[in-house]
Structure 1
Amino acid sequence: MALPSPSTSTSPVPPVGKAFKPLSRVIVADDEHLVAIGLVAHLSALGIEAVAVCRTGAEAVRAAEEANPQLALLDIRMPDLDGLECAAVLWSRHRIPSVIISAYSGDQYLTQATETGVFGYLLKPVEGDALRVALLVAWARACNLIETSERVEQLEETLAARRVVEHAKWRLVSERGISEPDAHAILQKAARNSRKRIAEVAQGFLSGGPLD
């Protein structure tokens, strides 16, 4: 396998969004030592540290738990666990995106590369500028996806909390014969007195706990 050519760019991968740091920590996994060394050199020229260099997908999974990388560069064909399987594990367990490095451009590999966790695909030998662009796009896509997922989760939590509060309010209305604003005021007072969120107080009430 050809050794990747030296990088011609020293521009670092920039930060993406407000909540994410610039890309600076990457795992490299390739069972060909010379290729791995070339990738590490490219990363260094971009101001990115290769926090672990692995020969198998299984090693990359273990390294992800110890080295705290932000992204993984994975050869598609490795012993133990191939790059696509490794990418799926890294994304599902740690939300670590991957860029696949491969000598194969067949449709079967490209189709498989659309699996969860793969955010880029590069053909060997890897050029420095191509790697920089692939990392930029992959990191941006992953960060945006994570950010969107977190917003969706927060929205779902907010809606769930509101449903609990509404349920508790109308139970108070039914049991005590009071107005909806009065029921809400009771929940608010209980939340202040207990120093809990109103949704926690409402859930406690619905579970049989006292309010006052």
Structure 2
Amino acid sequence: MGAFFVYRFQGCILEKLANNYQSVLVADSNEKRRHVLLESLEVSRYRVTSNLFLPEDLFAHVESIKPDIIFIGSDFPDQEVMDFISSVTQHRPCPIVLFAQDDDPRTIQVATQVGVSAYVSGDLSTKNVQTITEAAIARFCQLQNLKSELEKVQTNLSERKVIEQAKGFLINQKGYSEKEAHRALQKIAMNKMRRLAEVARDVVSSYKSKGLKKNNHKIEGLNSGQRIITCI
């Protein structure tokens, strides 16, 4: 399957840290392309620290090295390559550059879907390696930022929903107005030094638990054949 190389470059991908060297991993089965890539990296800010044969369990090696960027060369990427990229994306996300000869749009689409930051088809020259690398890093950071923003939005929506649920229970059970219910939740949160959403979850869980116990008590007194109607 070719050789396996590890590099280190100065400065973190996401945070520039002075005098801090981060690992870069390269795996390529194409001798000519690998030579071009090595030559380009050696004359740039990258520094070779290890030269290893490609292990059978590539992901285990990634887990050990913890690279900040990965270069993969595969003329015609197969399912094994795609599965590896997918595993890295899920468990240890980082910029991934895939060099190939396959320019089939379907292959490129699958590669980008599993987590490739830059897909490069055709011959590789020493002149564009640096540009490709920087573009892959920029693309990765952009996607990570979008993912982070999406997670924040989803969290906010989830928290709003549970807060509204808690207020609804207080309005129905305590006779509070909406403002009074909200202030009651805020007061509990301040007294317990907890987030409003956490307090709301406790309130919802408490009322749901009480409601379940009440329903179970009623169900025990039913005769066989009677219908059970629950209202939520």
Please say whether Structure 1 and Structure 2 have the same fold, judged by a TM-score greater than 0.5. yes
Aligned to 2:98: 100
The answer as to whether partners of 1:54 and 1:60 remain within 8 angstroms in 2 is no
Q: 69-78 or 91-100, which moves further after superposition?
A: 69-78
Q: CA deviation at 1:139?
A: 1.2
Aligned to 1:45: 43
Q: CA deviation at 1:44?
A: 3.4
Size of the alignment, in residue pairs?
Answer: 194
Q: CA deviation at 1:42?
A: 2.1
Does the residue aligned with 1:174 lie in a helix, a strand or coil? helix
Aligned to 2:146: 148
Aligned to 2:24: 26
Does 1:187 pair with 2:153?
no
Q: CA deviation at 1:45?
A: 2.6
Q: 1:130-189, CA deviations, whole angstroms, 9 ceiling, x for partnerless residues?
A: 111111111111110111001100111011111111111121111111211111111111
The answer as to whether partners of 2:29 and 2:74 remain within 8 angstroms in 1 is no
TM-score under structure 2 length normalisation: 0.69
Q: CA deviation at 1:67?
A: 1.8
Q: CA deviation at 1:89?
A: 2.1
Distance 1:90 1:77 in 2: 20
Q: 1:19-47, CA deviations, whole angstroms, 9 ceiling, x for partnerless residues?
A: x2369532101246675465334223321
The answer as to whether partners of 1:99 and 1:135 remain within 8 angstroms in 2 is yes
Question: What pairs with 1:122-133 in structure 2 (closer than 5 Å)?
Answer: 122-123=120-121, 126-133=124-131
TM-score under structure 1 length normalisation: 0.74
List alignment gaps of at least 5 residues for structure 1: 1-11
The answer as to whether partners of 2:159 and 2:197 remain within 8 angstroms in 1 is yes
Distance 1:129 1:113 in 2: 24
Residues 115 and 70 of structure 1, relative CA distance in 2, 3 Å threshold: same
Task: Identify which of 67, 76, 86 aligns with 1:88.
Answer: 86
Does the residue aligned with 1:46 lie in a helix, a strand or coil? coil
Residues 59 and 28 of structure 1, relative CA distance in 2, 3 Å threshold: farther
Q: 52-61 or 153-162, which moves further after superposition?
A: 52-61
Q: 65-74 or 31-40, which moves further after superposition?
A: 31-40
Distance 1:86 1:58 in 2: 12
Distance 1:132 1:195 in 2: 50
List alignment gaps of at least 5 residues for structure 2: 1-8, 208-232
Does the residue aligned with 1:150 lie in a helix, a strand or coil? helix
